[in-house]
Amino acid sequence: MASFGRRYLVELADASTLDCVTRGRRSALACGDRVTVLRSSAGKGVIESVGTRTTLLYRSDRARQKLVAANVTQIAIVVAPLPAYSADLVNRCLAAAEHGGMAAFIVLNKVDLPQAAQALEALELYRALGYRVVALSAKRDLAPLVPCLKGETSVLVGQSGMGKSTIINGLLPAAAVRVAEISAALDSGRHTTTHTRLFHLDAASHVIDSPGMQVFGLHHVEEDALAQAFVELRPWLGQCRFRDCRHMSEPSCAVSAACRDGKISEQRLASYRALIRERTP
């Protein structure tokens, strides 16, 4: 249900919770993992094993990996007009979803701001690619979002200040307060928004709130898979002059030609190329 460094909040079948640790010094657990535990004392336990994951959302660079959430069915990328969101981060999150076999959609929060119209226009790029864009004001009305979460295990991702925690508080105010209190107790008073937390909307619908992020590396994704993760590139893959084309600056590149013809967004292609450059020694 939540992770705090080397400590984890685990929910049991009877809805009670245990404050758990792992046996080893290092662990690779994510919020949403299904685990087996051994109760060690009142309210405490030890995680014995981790079940097979259906999906895993994580980011990586050359040095390390950061697990975000496990066993989720969809990613909700939360953006807002202010503070300005990063289109590159949105592109990376969408690529991570495509590569990881998860659905994805975009939530434009704070539509009551004057800058919302411009932000919504910029997001039409993603609608054209087949991604849903849900516009709302989390402080006023979450009704547009609720149907998107039904029957799904969703993880909210995005930069700090976009309103992810406001969405959680609006969906489940009582649960949010309760888990925040548990979080503070387990983490010796550190700010609870630095941790990933899972909430139940109903028996079949769950949502995970993740910390704000500024970067989303995909170093673990191979180059060919990266190209496939950008959906608009797929029709042009395999049509380049050279079979090993990386779609950077090679001659007779079908992807580059499609971009020049306006069939591929320059901004999206720039994100893909930035990811490729990050893989280059």
Q: Residues in the chain with pLDDT < 70?
A: 25-26, 175-194
- CATH number, domain 223-279: 1.10.40.50
H/E run at residue 174: helix 173-186
- Full-model pTM: 0.91
Check residue 191 and give its pLDDT: 39
Q: What amino acid is encoded at 207 in this protein?
A: V
Check residue 176 and give its pLDDT: 56
Q: What amino acid is encoded at 253 in this protein?
A: C
The CATH class, in words, for 2-50 is mainly beta
Check residue 5 and give its pLDDT: 76
Domain 2-50 identical in fold to domain 56-209: no
In order of 55, 57, 65, 166, 170, the CA distances from 60 in angstroms are: 16, 10, 4, 27, 31
- State how beta strands 197-202 and 205-209 pair: antiparallel
Check residue 190 and give its pLDDT: 41
Instruction: Write out the two tokens for 130.
Output: 């087949």
Given CATH 3.40.50.300, say whether it is the number of domain 56-209: yes
Where exactly are the structural domains of the chain?
A: 2-50, 56-209, 223-279
Check residue 216 and give its pLDDT: 93
3-state secondary structure of 182: helix
3-state secondary structure of 118: helix
The tokens 């090679």 sit on which residue? 250
